[in-house]
Amino acid sequence: MEIAADLVKELRVKTGAGIMDCKEALKVSNGNFEKAVDFLREKGLSAATKKSSRATKDGLVASYIHMGGKVGVMIEVNCETDFVAKTENFKTLTRDLAMHVAAMNPLYVKPEDVSEATLQREKDIYRKQVIAEGKPEKIADKIVEGKLKKFYEEVCLIKQKFIKDTNITVEDLIKASIAATGENILVKRFVRYQLGGDEAADNAL
């Protein structure tokens, strides 16, 4: 089938994928834009998984100031080469991530950063809630796991809904960038200052 050039362009802007990948996605999905987006996200997930073990020794530190100077963020985003770090797409990614941190105030980069003590405290609270609600003991663990998933979505940067497109998570955004650049990309750390706060939220791998 014939794929309109403007549809390819729109899909490329939406996903960050290459032209040929966008054309392929639209052909596979018979021109259905949303199905093409899903196809590219699944393809990007596969590519990102393969690249996730590769070293990231370059990147950028980006900053963002919000609310007339009342909130400030610095974030370090790593990639594999200086070439990718200098591209406008990578610069845009780092700025968007800094803006997201300013708006959503995550406490950690990823779930693995949450301490065992914090996790155990959350699990104990959730289990007490479940028992108090009269839920059977045999399904308590499953309910607690569901609540933990929600906890990660609230406090971990990569699990949060991306503020500029809530149909995707920050993790999806990063994976789309990995697929587009061909390099592994990860958030190393961020620090968020809020005027009048006792201390900065400093988060690292």
Burial pattern 100-110, b for ≥16 Cβ within 10 A else e, equals bbbbbbbebbb
Superfamily of domain 58-110+156-204: Elongation factor Ts, dimerisation domain (3.30.479.20)
Instruction: Fold for 5-51, please state it.
Output: Helicase, Ruva Protein; domain 3 (1.10.8)
Residue 102's nearest CA partner among 164, 184, 34 is 164
Tokens 């070293």 label which residue?
55
pLDDT tens, the chain, 205 aa long:
678 888 888 887 676 666 788 888 888 888 888 888 888 777 765 455 555 556 678 999 999 998 788 999 999 999 999 999 999 999 999 999 999 999 999 999 999 999 999 999 999 999 888 888 888 877 888 898 899 999 999 999 999 999 999 989 999 999 888 888 888 899 999 999 998 875 555 664 4
Measure the CA–CA gap between 105 and 103, rounded to whole angstroms.
Answer: 6
pTM to 2 decimal places: 0.70
